[in-house]
Amino acid sequence: MRILKEKLAAAQRGFTLIELVIVIVIIGILAAVAIPQFASVTDDANSGVANAAVGAVRSAISTRNAQCLNPATTLAGCTTALTCATAFALITPPAGATSTGTSPACTITVGGEASTLTYNPTSTSGT
């Protein structure tokens, strides 16, 4: 009799079906809440990269214009106005970044998130 009780006790050590279903439901709820948060973080990161690229282009334009103000400079392109393509080419763009638009409004897009740079091509500051 004692052996039979030990075998029954050993057989009842697992989880019940209801306990397993409850755990699966809780995991599903957590996943439903967490997945949209991760998508939002990715969009925010891409937007940040696009904004950083715009800042880099602004800085590169200012540096180029400052170099062109020096009469001793032999920098190519100082006599021509910048276009969106040439302004974007002044930097090493982030992976997946594209530049579209026509001067003075250029749009830099990274991962579907866009940031716009508007500059005055005849300005000495480049912004």
* Structure confidence by residue, pLDDT tens digits, 113-122: 888 888 765 5
Res. 78 pLDDT band, cuts 50 70 90: confident
Q: Give helix then strand counts, H and E, for the chain.
A: 3, 3
By three-state DSSP, how is residue 104 classified? coil
By three-state DSSP, how is residue 115 classified? strand
What tens digit of pLDDT does each residue of 52-74 get? 888 888 888 888 888 788 777 76
Give the mean model confidence (pLDDT) for residues 106-117: 84
Q: What is the pTM of this model?
A: 0.59
State the DSSP string of 25-83: HHHHHHHHHHHHHHHHHHHHHHHHHHHHHHHHHHHHHHHHHHHHHSTT---TTTTS---
